[in-house]
Amino acid sequence: MGLAMSLCQLYLISPLNVGGMFPERLVRALDAGQVAAFQFRVKDLDEHSAAALAEPLQRICADREVSFIVNDSISLAKRLGADGVHLGQTDGTITEARERLGRDAQIGVTCHASRHLAMEAGEAGADYVAFGAFFATTTKQVEHFAEPEILTWWQGLFELPCVAIGGIAPENARELALAGADFLAVSGAVWNGDEAAVVAAFHAAIAGK
């Protein structure tokens, strides 16, 4: 993902089911408009099974220069040679991830609605911080809601990119882009519909069209 860009970019998160026809859906989504990163997020699978599902998706991303980020698991990210890992507050430390994945790995951290957690992550060497949820979402149970002004606050003080996550749809995307999100992490809005049409709608919304 690199440094923050002036225009907000999409950060696509997988649905929990990435088997079957999902690789074809991912191709459609990535070919519908620029996507900066794709996060591989599966639950309750052993690492061997997860790796088998991840490998074709990783190739699709590599062919399109989309960063491939593994959710939660430093060991799976290491095994796959992924571009990075996204850590929740209980998924291991930034220091451990950096030691195992190397200095070029992109390490993101979930910071919920906490300015304190975000500053701690930045000081520990994270490459981006994620705030949310901003809106109700069916993708996961929401325990923390964030307000758009946390994005504005972060942008005013720090160079590190910030990601907005949680219930984001084309209808509310521009609000978060204008508030200061460098990336919008989206999942349900894309995979619960026509993925190509929704990605295109996100781009139009961010651009204010």
Q: What is the DSSP string of 90-156?
A: TS--HHHHHHHH-TTSEEEEE-TT-HHHHHHHHHHT-SEEEEE--S--SSS-------THHHHHHHH
Q: What is the rounded distance in angstroms from the CA atom of residue 120 to the CA atom of residue 55?
A: 33
Domain count, the chain: 1
Indicate the SS3 state at residue 111: coil
Query: Does some domain include residue 76?
Result: yes
Res 33: pLDDT = 97
Query: Does some domain include residue 80?
Result: yes
Query: Does some domain include residue 4?
Result: no
What CATH number does the domain containing 126 carry?
3.20.20.70
The answer on pLDDT for 5 being more than 70 is: no
Mean pLDDT of the chain: 94
Query: Does some domain include residue 2?
Result: no
Query: Does some domain include residue 3?
Result: no
Query: Does some domain include residue 125?
Result: yes
Q: What is the rounded distance in angstroms from the CA atom of residue 4 to the CA atom of residue 78?
A: 25
Q: How confident is the model at residue 141 (pLDDT cuts 50, 70, 90)?
A: confident
Measured at the CA of 102, the angle between CA 99 and CA 104, to 5 degrees, comes to: 145
Q: Give which of 55, 106, 57 is closest to 84, Cα–Cα.
A: 106
Q: Which domain holds residue 151?
A: 9-206
Query: Does some domain include residue 172?
Result: yes
The answer on pLDDT for 138 being more than 80 is: no
- The mean pLDDT of 119-141, rounded to a whole number, is 92
- Render pLDDT for 44-61 as a digit per residue (tens, 0 to 9): 999 999 999 999 999 999
